[in-house]
Homo-oligomer: A and B are copies of this chain.
Amino acid sequence: MASAVRVGLVGLGTIGTGVVRLFQEHGADIDRRLGFPLVLAAIADIDLESERGVALAGYTLHRDYKALIDDPGIDIVVELVGGTGVAAQIVRSALCAGKAVATANKALLAHKGDEIWPLAREHGTEIAFEASVCGTIPVLRALREGLAADRIQALHGIVNGTCNYILSEMEEQGEPYASALKRAQDLGYAEVDPRFDVEGTDSAHKLAILLGLAFGLRAGPGDFPVEGIERIAISDIDAAQRLGFRIKLLASARRGAEGVLACVRPCLVPRTGALAAVGGALNALVVDGAFSGRTSYSGAGAGSLPTASAVVADLMELARSRRLGAAGRVAPLGTPELAEGGLCAAAAEEGEYYVRIEASPGSGADAAAELIERLAARGVRVETLARAGRDVVVTTAPVKRAAIAAALDRRSAAGVQILRIERGL
């Protein structure tokens, strides 16, 4: 058999352990598929003692990742440490040493991509990151190669499994946000500090990557509005349901006349549509292309083995590329020359909205009349009116969000919920 390509893994967490297991259980088949051996040779982690359910005998073990990078026998480095600190150093030093890099680190790519892409090119190597968005689902390959001939018009994704689990539980169990979050934490779906997920930050990192691939845009997660799910009340879930919708946290981008509108926000999607059917911790992406029409992708967005499957698929691609001298075959993050008009402010966008206001006890009919009147004064037409407990819920005709906010400016923000309705999904 031809000479081997050797892999060094940094970070033995959930995904790292999955990568080790996948090599151990399926490595022989992977070698047959490649036609040459892809060898997991070295592992680095500050903790080499904890029991992880995989044998570490036979690998060169390092406590310091630098020793792994310095090993000239390692061709590809897998960075699975996470975060933007040490992980950035690992990726930088690996690329500078001419090694290829695979990573699942969306935070790093979203924040430091602009520094990392050129570094890879400069050193004649490349970086792969399929696992960073939608876990096991090969959506980055779909955007970068499968739909390469297309002009992407819009994309909408459920890209954070924790939020989707919490929203699904709220609907299915009828339980409030806090207890659904608690259950997600008990099951390990949510971190002890859940803010990174529930505030939409993780989804924003992934959207930043998708914006590059789909629209050629170089955008950071601070460049577009981000709203999480912490303010979704059980009364919103119920009212949405009665109106024929489900609430999902969406990472969205669409091409408009003035540029690309991008945002992360909870939205109402039709109960009968493809995204409403994506329950639990699953992820999904819906892509509208000018030529391809709509294609949809769904599957596990997290988990040790599903994510490891995407990481190892990347290793196979990097290994082939290395042997053929084809590094940089496809631009890692779309083509900036294709970006037209850049990002435009989400405030420019018109859409239908769901508005819920808290009404004081006994003021039901008055509150509804007052709400309709106030909205009408700003040119916002109410399409439907419903009650959610003692709250009043309306849906509007297409309008700019600012008009609704202006109509309600005298109410405390805590008593107002404004959510976008995405009828086409």
Decide yes or no whether A376 CB sits under 8 A from chain B.
no
Given A277-B274, A326-B329, decide whether A295 and B297 contact each other with a Cβ distance below 8 A.
Answer: yes
Within 8 A of B (CB), among A1-50: 18, 22, 26, 29-30, 32-33, 35
Given A136-B293, A293-B306, A299-B293, decide whether A149 and B22 contact each other with a Cβ distance below 8 A.
Answer: yes
- A367 to B94 CA separation, bound complex (whole angstroms): 74
Decide yes or no whether A176 CB sits under 8 A from chain B.
no
When the two chains form their complex, are residues A26 and B149 in contact, meaning their CB atoms are under 8 A apart?
yes
Given A138-B145, A298-B274, A299-B292, decide whether A320 and B309 contact each other with a Cβ distance below 8 A.
Answer: no
Q: Chain B's nearest CB lies how many Å from the CB of A203? A: 20
- List residues of chain B with CB within 8 A of the CB of A130: 146
Within 8 A of B (CB), among A309-339: 309-313, 315-317, 320-321, 324-326, 329-331, 334-335, 337-338
Decide yes or no whether A300 CB sits under 8 A from chain B.
yes
When the two chains form their complex, are residues A291 and B308 in contact, meaning their CB atoms are under 8 A apart?
yes
- A300 to B294 CA separation, bound complex (whole angstroms): 7
Decide yes or no whether A141 CB sits under 8 A from chain B.
yes
- In the complex, what residue of chain B is closest to A135 when comparing beta carbons? B292
Decide yes or no whether A182 CB sits under 8 A from chain B.
no
When the two chains form their complex, are residues B138 and A315 in contact, meaning their CB atoms are under 8 A apart?
no
Q: Chain B's nearest CB lies how many Å from the CB of A73? A: 22
B32, B291, B298: the one contacting A337 at CB < 8 Å is: B32
B149, B297, B324: the one contacting A316 at CB < 8 Å is: B149
Given A29-B338, A138-B141, A326-B326, decide whether A150 and B292 contact each other with a Cβ distance below 8 A.
Answer: no
When the two chains form their complex, are residues B136 and A295 in contact, meaning their CB atoms are under 8 A apart?
yes
When the two chains form their complex, are residues B274 and A289 in contact, meaning their CB atoms are under 8 A apart?
no
- List residues of chain B with CB within 8 A of the CB of A35: 331, 335
Q: Chain B's nearest CB lies how many Å from the CB of A295? A: 3
Q: Chain B's nearest CB lies how many Å from the CB of A258? A: 19
Given A297-B297, A329-B324, decide whether A138 and B149 contact each other with a Cβ distance below 8 A.
Answer: no
- A294 to B33 CA separation, bound complex (whole angstroms): 21
- List residues of chain B with CB within 8 A of the CB of A335: 32-33, 35
When the two chains form their complex, are residues B138 and A313 in contact, meaning their CB atoms are under 8 A apart?
no
When the two chains form their complex, are residues A312 and B32 in contact, meaning their CB atoms are under 8 A apart?
no
When the two chains form their complex, are residues A151 and B324 in contact, meaning their CB atoms are under 8 A apart?
no
Decide yes or no whether A303 CB sits under 8 A from chain B.
yes
Within 8 A of B (CB), among A100-147: 130, 136-138, 141-142, 145-147
- List residues of chain B with CB within 8 A of the CB of A308: 149, 291
Decide yes or no whether A305 CB sits under 8 A from chain B.
yes
Q: Chain B's nearest CB lies how many Å from the CB of A318? A: 12
When the two chains form their complex, are residues B22 and A148 in contact, meaning their CB atoms are under 8 A apart?
no
B32, B305, B311: the one contacting A338 at CB < 8 Å is: B32
- A163 to B313 CA separation, bound complex (whole angstroms): 34
- List residues of chain B with CB within 8 A of the CB of A297: 295-297
Within 8 A of B (CB), among A265-296: 272, 274, 277, 289-296
Q: Chain B's nearest CB lies how many Å from the CB of A261? A: 20
Given A141-B142, A292-B300, A297-B297, decide whether A149 and B312 contact each other with a Cβ distance below 8 A.
Answer: yes
- In the complex, what residue of chain B is closest to A312 when comparing beta carbons? B149
- List residues of chain B with CB within 8 A of the CB of A146: 130, 137-138, 141-142, 310, 313
**Among A22, A29, A290, A330, residue most surrounded by chain B Cβ atoms (within 10 Å):** A29
- A308 to B272 CA separation, bound complex (whole angstroms): 29
Given A146-B138, A149-B316, A151-B29, decide whether A309 and B292 contact each other with a Cβ distance below 8 A.
Answer: yes
- List residues of chain B with CB within 8 A of the CB of A338: 29, 32-33
B18, B147, B272, B310: the one contacting A309 at CB < 8 Å is: B147
Q: Which 6 A-B pairs have the closest CB atoms?
A: A138-B146, A295-B299, A149-B312, A291-B309, A136-B292, A326-B326
4 additional contacts (CB under 8 A) given A26-B151, A148-B313, A292-B306? A32-B337, A145-B145, A292-B299, A324-B329
